[in-house]
Amino acid sequence: MRIKVIGSSVDGSRCQFAASYLFNDYLAIDAGSIGFMSVAAQKRVKHIVLSHSHLDHIASLPIFVDNVYEPRPESVVVYGMPSVIASLQANLFNDLVWPDVVRLSQEESPFIEFVAIENLRPIQLGDLLLTPVALDHVVPTFGFIVDDGVSAAVLVSDTGPTELIWEHASRTARLKCVMLESAFPDSMTWLAEKTKHLTPALMQLEFDKLEHPARHDIKLLVVHIKPAYYEEVTAELNALKLPNLQISEPNGEYEI
Ligand SMILES: [Zn+2]
Ligand SMILES: [Zn+2]
């Protein structure tokens, strides 16, 4: 499985300003910056799955829809929990911030199709089996287990301390990679608690919840570091001296 952390900077910054991840080029989880990839790369994306409604995870979705639109019977499919789909329709595709693509899709060739997903109900997207698992964030949020039959990855972001996804990740036989957030430095644990994010110390406690027979061979790929605290967080992550920890790079590609 090929995983790509989509970059979100226009001047080569190492920071991740918005969140989106590509699996085997055709499945995007979150849409923070997919609309800023090359048009060819955007046209390869067939499915977009949204973790939650926060702006850093949906920011480029309207741009993406505009970039890939062609008048034909099929359109890009966007998956999210019902409250996320409702929020997009009320707050984004509302004829004010962006045209109401749902109404336009009924009148013209479709621009977008929304499909509701449910906690712990897997969906098959091409070769990838995707299982949404509820996390613990300030708004309802899914993490995801992505399995192609050879290897599997779990994306745990955005979240504060959580339980359910570790139970399921621990039972995922082919698990090769845990993508885990570490938003704030340890000195801002108070803000991480209020906003339901993790710090390096909290992240380590989360990773310790993984009870997997191959745990020592599983890559821990850190994502979603708040740019304002990038240096502090990365210093704290490196100080943990976890052997398989890797801090993700914008446009970094990871083969598992
Ligand atoms: Zn969030
Ligand atoms: Zn976020």
Q: How far is the CA of 52 from the centre of ligand 1 (A)?
A: 7
Judged by its nearest atom, the ligand closest to the C-alpha of residue 30 is 2
Q: How far is the CA of 48 from the centre of ligand 2 (A)?
A: 16
Which residues touch 5 (CB under 8 Å, ≥6 apart)?
A: 16, 21, 221, 223, 248, 249, 250, 251, 252, 254
- Residue-range domain boundaries for the chain: 2-255
Q: How far is the CA of 127 from the centre of ligand 1 (A)?
A: 28
Report d(CA 181, CA 206) in Å as an integer: 10
Which CATH architecture is the domain 2-255 placed in?
Answer: 4-Layer Sandwich (3.60)
Report d(CA 250, CA 16) in Å as an integer: 6
Q: How far is the CA of 158 from the centre of ligand 2 (A)?
A: 5
Report d(CA 242, CA 38) in Å as an integer: 35
Neighbours of ion ligand 1 (CB under 5 A): 54, 158
Give the sign of the dihedral formed by CA 33, CA 207, CA 153, CA 51: negative
Q: How far is the CA of 19 from the centre of ligand 2 (A)?
A: 7
Helices (H), the chain: 39-44, 55-58, 61-68, 82-91, 101-107, 164-170, 189-195, 200-207, 230-239
Q: How far is the CA of 240 from the centre of ligand 1 (A)?
A: 25
Q: How far is the CA of 180 from the centre of ligand 1 (A)?
A: 13
Q: What secondary structure does DSSP assign to 136-188, as a single string?
A: -SSS--EEEEEE-SS-EEEEE-S-SS-SHHHHHHHT-TTEEEEEEE--S-GGG
Q: How far is the CA of 57 from the centre of ligand 2 (A)?
A: 6
| pTM to 2 decimal places | 0.97
Judged by its nearest atom, the ligand closest to the C-alpha of residue 181 is 2
The answer to whether 144 and 29 are in contact (CB under 8 A) is: yes
Q: How far is the CA of 41 from the centre of ligand 1 (A)?
A: 25
Q: How far is the CA of 25 from the centre of ligand 2 (A)?
A: 22
Sheet of 27-29, strands arranged across: 112-116, 76-80, 47-49, 27-29, 21-23, 2-5, 253-255
Tens place of pLDDT per residue across the chain (256 aa): 999 999 999 999 999 999 999 999 999 999 999 999 999 999 999 999 999 999 999 999 999 999 999 998 889 999 999 999 999 999 999 999 999 999 999 888 899 999 999 999 999 999 999 999 999 999 999 999 999 999 999 999 999 999 999 999 999 999 999 999 999 999 999 999 999 999 999 999 999 999 999 999 999 999 999 999 999 999 999 999 999 999 999 999 999 9
